[in-house]
Structure 1
Amino acid sequence: KAKKLWQAGLKQLGKSKLDLTLVASDITTDKNVSEFLQSQLESKLPGLKVTVKNLPSKSAYNLAANGKFDLYLSFWINDYADPYSELQTLEMTNSHNYGKYTSAAYAAYNNELKQARKNAATRSVYFNHLLKAQEQMNQDYPVLPLYTMVEDHLVNTNLKGVLWHKVGMVDYTQAYFK
């Protein structure tokens, strides 16, 4: 299906090939992921050439923040344990909406988030609005989650003061041995 859509897209553009630039940081994980994406995209979509730009994190971020990319590999971890933390990144006014996501149904997406905020006191209504926003995002696919990071920590039972955040981060700055 991807190949058919790709060919239809090229035809619509009146092109037989396309060059895209993938911007990512120069950390090992991002280098490996961006090289894998380049390989997969070029081998599956005839006529596509992907140029990878692995840059220092700040440089990659600056390109993304200024909209100077075709594809951008980024990392997101929620600020708090609630789907709203992730969904709100695609609101037009959010600085993390690097691709300036919008669509014909984008007003509905923003409205669902607005209604979620307005009805946050009623849990079922709140999550129903978030679910509708997620469904709209899934139709448009402005962001493609590639993987989820998971960490395991083997911790000595005498180690106290470790902060286990609900969003997956572990903070050892207050840790001490009893």
Structure 2
Amino acid sequence: MKTKDQITQTMILISGLIISMLATVLKQYPIVMVIGLGIQIFATFKLFTITKNKYLIWSLASLMLSFAIVFLSGTFVPMMTTDMFTIIAILSNFLLITYVLIRMADVLLMVYASENAHNDFYKRFYQFLAISFTVMILVGSVGTFLEGFTIIRCLSQY
């Protein structure tokens, strides 16, 4: 029964991850991302209650912080009445923090999955995913930093 529950929660977690990825592609960031993160938080919490794994508690904390950031940036930033550049700069900073937190949660989940893999192929596959997500964090962080730097340069010319 325990293994069946773990498989079910892992499937729910993967669906949340797919929704979160779609949110980035669709550019409907706050609304879709809140739904995706909600699913991921629910499934991670259920997995933690089943397994009591230390990686899952850190992953859960990271996802909850991401959820709060996305929710707040989606709710309050559009209400601000400053010029467009400032809003873009604020949002890109929020989204960079969120991106890093979500990917860190994913890395922790992959480490957890590789530790609990049933055979060597899956162990290596999850380790590969953990490394891939780590590279994504580094590349995404540099890209968003350069984007933020460009926005600040544009602002300083006015």
Q: Do both share a fold (TM > 0.5)?
A: no
Higher strand content, 1 or 2: 1
Higher helix content, 1 or 2: 2
Instruction: Output the TM-score relative to the length of structure 2.
Output: 0.34
Q: Which has the larger radius of gyration?
A: 1
Instruction: Output the TM-score relative to the length of structure 1.
Output: 0.31
